[in-house]
Amino acid sequence: MEDELILKENPTLGDLQRYVRKMKEMRQLNLTDPRLDCMMLAEESGELISAVRKHMKGGSVGSGSQTGEIELEMADVLIILLGMANMHGVDLEQALRRKEEINKQRIWKRI
């Protein structure tokens, strides 16, 4: 059954979103509880932050703790975010385009 789950070469954001929908259905993962996905996003974001901190000059993590590779933690965050978008009926590509049109009108200041 998992062998039916194939991610296209050079996928679009929409392709990724469809892949995650199918993957979650096939693995019988959460498809309906947004609170669970919010908690999972926070957890995976924390793991990403720990991985980044571990690789920073002077960064540290507690003794005995392990952090994954930055790229894998980023992938986990993306998978959760894509699943949340599916759960809420959000087309992330269109949302990104819409948000960028808003951002183009802003004046960006560095502090």
Average the pLDDT over 50-55 and give the result: 86
CATH (one of 3.40.50.880, 3.30.390.50, 1.10.287.1080, 3.20.20.70) for 10-104: 1.10.287.1080
What is the rounded distance in angstroms from the CA atom of residue 34 to the CA atom of residue 79? 14
Domain boundaries, the chain: 10-104
Span 18-29, pLDDT tens digits: 999 999 999 999
Average the pLDDT over 35-45 and give the result: 96
What is the rounded distance in angstroms from the CA atom of residue 77 to the CA atom of residue 47? 9
**pTM, whole model, 2 decimals?**
0.84
* CA-based torsion, 25, 27, 30, 36: positive or negative: negative
